[in-house]
């Protein structure tokens, strides 16, 4: 099987494993998505009625988590290399601040820690893109701040899944009880699960061509669907995590998944550099398990190059409405090659 076909069917784990064990001693609470985990993280941080500081380079739908926690968003600057503006003394005061590990790459937490010391904010590490990724010191992303969040559904072939990580024992002691698990009724997931073996058999280019034809019939040939503006205010349903998260997981293996995603990143980097596209991150540090390949450049010229390998390219992010019209160019020209269908 060629590498890109694993986008349609990642190898299964021979030995089922548990997220609770991987992230121990952090305490996990499962949710249906990362936004719901973030809403609970903000409540735990005491953000209700207060300000929450987010990066200005972010998906608009994250704002729904801030609204659900009864908080107000404010923003700090993000530079072209996706690091936070290090002069945290310029950041507005807030009760909680979000540090994002973009696309699985470890963020530098120093300015966030300095900010927390200065104004007493709780740092939340957003590792929604960073399942299995580690920093230079070998620490799992999502565990490096008092609270962390994961979006499991983005990196594992599951109907849904998000997680809140309480890394600080005092915060862990105040976690709400776990949500019940619920069988997923997602039609999309059932169809995908049925299609996966067929798409993997069709080979990378065949699978991509078949999916593109289906999307063209639906009228969204690029696969990109703009989110509903209500996504800034309302969290998606359901809230409960899928029942698959209750048992040990076999749908992907952490070690195989890490090498699969690193190999896909290297393949995409070769394609991008040959075509003169600019990678957002020039190198893949040891321990980084990328969620996608991020680059800057023309989407129209990049799409066919990656499609030939069976890979889909989408713009990222859908910026919050309040920021979109004044966003700098380096917040508007990023695209991602996805590693999971
Ligand atoms: C950086 C980041 N954090 C959190 C989330 C939320 O994850 P989910 O879509 O599972 O709610 C997203 C998803 O859009 C994201 O891009």
Q: Tens digit of pLDDT for each residue in 114-150?
A: 999 999 999 999 999 999 999 999 999 999 999 999 9
153 lines ligand 1 (CB under 6 A): yes
Cα 323 from Cα 334, distance rounded (Å): 16
From the CA of 205, how far away is ligand 1's center (Å)?
28
Mean pLDDT of the chain: 94
- 153 and 202 belong to one structural domain: no
- 152 and 32 belong to one structural domain: yes
CB neighbour class for 20 (10 Å; exposed up to 12, middle 13-18, buried from 19) = middle
Range of the domain at 119: 15-172
- 166 and 302 belong to one structural domain: no
- 265 and 162 belong to one structural domain: no
In a domain, 104, yes or no: yes
Beta sheet of 147-150, edge-to-edge order = 27-31, 162-166, 147-150, 122-126, 96-100, 51-55, 72-76
In a domain, 5, yes or no: no
From the CA of 1, how far away is ligand 1's center (Å)?
30
| Res 1: pLDDT | 56
60 lines ligand 1 (CB under 6 A): no
| Res 229: pLDDT | 80
Q: How many CB atoms lie within 10 A of CB 229?
A: 10
- 43 and 153 belong to one structural domain: yes
Query: Which of the listed residues 31, 35, 159 should we mutate to test ligand 1's pocket, taking the one with most ligand atoms within 8 A of CB?
Result: 35
Closest Cα to atom 8 of ligand 1:
34
In a domain, 4, yes or no: no
From the CA of 62, how far away is ligand 1's center (Å)?
6
294 lines ligand 1 (CB under 6 A): no
From the CA of 314, how far away is ligand 1's center (Å)?
15
- 100 and 191 belong to one structural domain: no
Give the pLDDT band of residue 208 (cuts 50, 70, 90): confident
From the CA of 199, how far away is ligand 1's center (Å)?
26
100 lines ligand 1 (CB under 6 A): yes
pTM: 0.96
Domain with 108 in it: what CATH number?
Answer: 3.40.640.10
116 lines ligand 1 (CB under 6 A): no
Tell me the backbone φ, ψ of residue 220, rounded to 5 degrees.
-130, 70
- 201 and 332 belong to one structural domain: yes
In a domain, 84, yes or no: yes
* Predicted confidence (pLDDT) at residue 226 exceeds the cutoff of 80: no
- 191 and 285 belong to one structural domain: yes
Give the pLDDT band of residue 224 (cuts 50, 70, 90): low
Atom of ligand 1 nearest to the CA of 160: 10
In a domain, 314, yes or no: yes
Mean pLDDT for the stretch of residues 33-40? 98
- 100 and 209 belong to one structural domain: no
In a domain, 255, yes or no: yes
- 140 and 210 belong to one structural domain: no
- 136 and 214 belong to one structural domain: no
125 lines ligand 1 (CB under 6 A): no
From the CA of 202, how far away is ligand 1's center (Å)?
30
- 140 and 204 belong to one structural domain: no
Which residue among 141, 172, 203 closes a domain?
172
Asked if residue 127 lies in contact with residue 155, where contact means CB atoms within 8 angstroms, the answer is: no
Closest Cα to atom 14 of ligand 1:
59
From the CA of 230, how far away is ligand 1's center (Å)?
16
Residues belonging to the chain: 341
Q: How many domains does the chain have?
A: 2
In a domain, 242, yes or no: no
Cα 298 from Cα 32, distance rounded (Å): 34
62 lines ligand 1 (CB under 6 A): yes
């Amino acid at each position: 099987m060629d590498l890109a076909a694993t986008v349609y069917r990642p190898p299964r784990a021979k030995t089922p494993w548990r997220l609770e064990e991987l992230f121990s001693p952090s305490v996990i609470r499962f949710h249906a998505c990362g936004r719901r985990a973030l809403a609970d993280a903000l409540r735990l941080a005491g953000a209700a009625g207060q300000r929450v500081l987010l990066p200005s380079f972010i998906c608009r739908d994250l704002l729904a988590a801030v609204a659900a926690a009864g908080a107000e968003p404010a923003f700090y600057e993000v530079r072209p290399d996706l690091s936070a503006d290090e002069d945290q003394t310029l950041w507005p005061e807030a009760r909680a601040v979000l540090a994002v590990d973009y696309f699985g790459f470890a963020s530098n937490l120093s300015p966030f820690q300095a900010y927390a010391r200065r104004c007493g904010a709780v740092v939340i590490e957003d590792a929604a893109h960073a399942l299995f990724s580690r920093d230079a010191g070998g620490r799992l992303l999502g565990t490096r701040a008092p609270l962390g969040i994961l979006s499991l559904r983005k990196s594992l072939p599951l109907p849904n899944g998000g997680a809140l990580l309480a890394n600080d024992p005092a915060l862990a002691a105040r976690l709400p009880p776990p949500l019940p698990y619920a069988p997923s009724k997602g039609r999309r997931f059932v169809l995908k699960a049925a299609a996966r073996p067929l798409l993997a058999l069709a080979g990378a280019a065949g699978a991509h061509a078949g999916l593109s034809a289906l999307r063209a019939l639906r009228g969204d040939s690029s696969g990109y669907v703009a989110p509903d503006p209500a996504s800034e205010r309302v969290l998606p349903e359901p809230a409960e995590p899928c029942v698959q998260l209750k048992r040990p997981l076999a749908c992907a293996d952490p070690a195989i998944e890490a090498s699969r995603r690193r190999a896909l990143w290297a393949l995409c980097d070769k394609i991008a550099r040959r075509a003169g596209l600019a990678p957002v991150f020039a190198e893949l540090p040891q321990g980084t398990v990328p969620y996608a390949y991020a680059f800057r450049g023309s989407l129209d010229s990049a799409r066919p190059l990656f499609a030939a390998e069976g890979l889909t390219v989408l713009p990222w992010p859908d910026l919050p409405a309040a920021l979109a019209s004044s966003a700098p160019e380096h917040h508007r020209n990023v695209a991602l090659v996805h590693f999971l269908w």
